[in-house]
Amino acid sequence: MKLLEDRIKKDGEVLDGDVLKINSFLNHQVDPQLMMQCGEEFKRLFADQKIDKVLTCEASGIAPGVMTAYVLDVPMVFARKKKPSTLNDAVYWADVFSYTKKVNNKICVEEKFLHKGENLLIIDDFVAQGEAVKGMVNIAKQAECNIVGVGAVVAKTFQGGSDWVKQHGLHFEALASIDSFKDGQVHFENEN
């Protein structure tokens, strides 16, 4: 998605540890028009799939997840990183390591929001090592849902998460695929 790649080049900041900071439009401040275009692109990329729900993870996955769900006209469910005190019902749990924050999180989804046999599209903001996606796949399997695909706004393909998704037989699409951060610059796959 050239528009997204251009925005990353313009506003993205490469930090130590192969971290890309794009908080001006995705992670802290959200550009709703760009996120809507991301949702439209995910709809196009997964057009051949029957999708009942979008599953994402809080907090940065919510903006692209909700826009994708909106254009697909389906509900969005997001995995919480902490169980709120108001949540007394049964939940599906998964452990997730945060690459950027260097911390383990337990993510959860209330069982009443995922039903056996539902077709889920997993949407994530970043797929680096794939930890959040692995957690959401785990939750989907606990719920006996079908995973029709995984969409990432940004994939850092050199960190292996996108390979993990594909090796597990899942349809994977990234709107921007980063090959490297050589010399502190973002280099996309198939760039001239």
The answer on whether 128 is annotated among ligand-binding residues is yes
Query: Apex CA 166: angle with CA 164 and CA 172, to 5°?
Result: 115
Q: How many CB atoms lie within 10 A of CB 111?
A: 14
Residue 33 is assigned to a ligand binding site: no
Could you give the 3-state DSSP secondary structure of residue 104?
strand
Q: Residue 5: left if φ>0, alpha if ψ -120 to 50, beta else—which one?
A: alpha
Kindly report the number of other CB atoms within 10 A of residue 159's CB atom.
17
Residue 105, annotated as binding a ligand: no
Q: Is 69 annotated as a binding residue?
A: no
List, in sequence order, every beta strand (DSSP E) within 11-102: 13-15, 19-21, 53-57, 76-79, 91-98
Query: What residue type is assigned to position 46 of the chain?
Result: F
Q: Is 132 annotated as a binding residue?
A: yes
142 is in an annotated binding site: no
Q: Is 34 annotated as a binding residue?
A: no
175 is an annotated ligand-binding site residue: no
Q: Which residues are annotated as a binding site for 5-phospho-alpha-D-ribose 1-diphosphate?
A: 128-132
Q: Which residues are annotated as a binding site for xanthine?
A: 20, 27, 156
Q: Which residues are annotated as a binding site?
A: 20, 27, 128-132, 156
